[in-house]
Amino acid sequence: MPRNFKELKPAYGFDDVAIAPGDITINPEMADLTTNFDGIKLEVPFLASAMDAVVDPKFAVEMTKAGGLAVMNMDGLHTRYEDTAPLYEEIAAAPREEATAIMQRIYAEPQKPELVATRVEEIKRGGGTAAVSFVPQNAKRMAPLAVEAGADMIVVQATVVTARHSSKSLKGLIFSDLIKDIDVPILVGNTVSYEVTKELMQQGIHGVLVGVGPGSVCTSREVLGIGIPQVSATIECAAARDDFLKETGKYIPIITDGGIRTGGDVCKSFAAGANAVMIGSPFAKCEEAPAKGYHWGMATWHESLPRGTRIKMGTEYSLHQLLYGPSSRTDGTLNLVGALQVCMGYVGAENLREMNNARMVYAPAMKTEGKIYQAAGLGF
């Protein structure tokens, strides 16, 4: 008699795959890196994560000037405290074993709705594009305040988001209703599956964030055991986007969010199907980041089940160096824009949608093949 059992399907992350060179090549400067979210055009397809350690109003302005977009967390420090500088100092100075408890105390301060408008106005006064993030339970109440103050984009973000969520609320967040009430692009995440991506797109949203638990400060995979490696997740969500386009004529971008450390990871995200990438830790190392070289996740301070940790990244470079170089490093951690352009040149992709068609292969030895001398530390 046959037995019923779970079948495990392989899933691949950045270190498991490689991009195959194309049949034609182009000059890197010919590669068009622009991407678009319902009329919001970015010169480079890079978003800074909605984390307190990464984005404050000043960073959001600088990211706009650099051609990308920074998403500001409206459930964190900046809507709980008028002056956040002392809080960043306290978190940075906290002993490792006390950091989470200290953050739990700091984040226990109630949110102040009036500060939502204040932060949006600060970004706009500096000439920045104001993209702001809310958790689903706050979005219905707080997002209209942000839009009224001039926000250009709303991001509704949690560890896992679906279009069908059961709760004891009489009427929870319904994305189609939120879209009717708010006349700016709405991005939603995070998810990793074809079905959820397509259902979210059917609600009328303008972008999907892909990734559960890959970030360097996120411990959801350890605490909850949940997640899908980013390359497989991006491929699956990109398939939903493409099928949705065929069925409706509407093209909804997807953003690979989390786990991206190097130019190679960026390139593999686009080869897997991304229209943009969202990055946290590399931006936390920038001189312009507010947390003085420290970084922590959105759920690090959860009052009953922390899912993240504070880590010391150090301050290593400017925002311009991270995105545009110049770089004297050989590890791919600087000049992410240049890396993407060069890779697009090697695969013959003139724009990001052509880059989505780049061939990929399973190549677990990609980083070690022929690299015995590097592994032995014999470089200079």
**Model pLDDT, residue 170:** 40
Rounded to an integer, what distance in angstroms lies between the CA atom of residue 169 and that of residue 95? 39
**Domain 19-356 indexed as CATH 3.40.50.2300:** no
**Does the pLDDT at position 373 exceed 90?**
no
**Does the pLDDT at position 248 exceed 80?**
yes
Q: What is the mean pLDDT of residues 228-238?
A: 96
Alpha-carbon Rg for the chain, nearest whole angstrom, is: 20
Report which listed range, 25-34, 90-99, 137-146, 365-374, is most confident.
25-34
**Does the pLDDT at position 264 exceed 70?**
yes
Q: Quickly state the pLDDT bin for 100 (edges 50, 70, 90).
A: confident
**Does the pLDDT at position 1 exceed 70?**
no
**Does the pLDDT at position 168 exceed 70?**
no
Rounded to an integer, what distance in angstroms lies between the CA atom of residue 60 and that of residue 342? 27
pTM of the model: 0.92
Domain layout of the chain by residue ranges = 19-356
139-143, 196-200, 301-305, 369-373: lowest mean pLDDT where? 369-373
Do the bridges between strand 69-73 and strand 294-295 make them parallel or antiparallel, or are there none, so unpaired? unpaired
Q: Quickly state the pLDDT bin for 372 (edges 50, 70, 90).
A: low
Phi-psi region of 334 (alpha: psi -120 to 50; beta: other; left: phi over 0): beta
Contact 288, 45 (CB under 8 A): no
**Does the pLDDT at position 160 exceed 90?**
no
Q: Quickly state the pLDDT bin for 309 (edges 50, 70, 90).
A: confident
The torsion angle over the Cα atoms of residues 147, 153, 159 and 163, rounded to 10 degrees, is 80
pLDDT in tens, 34-57: 999 999 999 999 999 999 999 999
Rounded to an integer, what distance in angstroms lies between the CA atom of residue 194 and that of residue 6? 19
**Model pLDDT, residue 143:** 96
**Model pLDDT, residue 325:** 96
Q: What is the mean pLDDT of residues 92-121?
A: 93
Q: Quickly state the pLDDT bin for 345 (edges 50, 70, 90).
A: very high
Contact 74, 132 (CB under 8 A): yes
Rounded to an integer, what distance in angstroms lies between the CA atom of residue 127 and that of residue 217? 30
**Does the pLDDT at position 6 exceed 90?**
no
**Model pLDDT, residue 13:** 95
Rounded to an integer, what distance in angstroms lies between the CA atom of residue 56 and that of residue 69? 12
**Model pLDDT, residue 371:** 57
Q: What is the mean pLDDT of residues 231-251?
A: 98
Q: Angle, nearest 10°, between helix axes 85-93 and 99-106?
A: 160
pLDDT higher at 368 or 111: 111
Rounded to an integer, what distance in angstroms lies between the CA atom of residue 299 and that of residue 70? 19
Identify the sign of the CA torsion 133, 138, 142, 147: positive
Rounded to an integer, what distance in angstroms lies between the CA atom of residue 315 and that of residue 333? 13
**Does the pLDDT at position 376 exceed 60?**
no
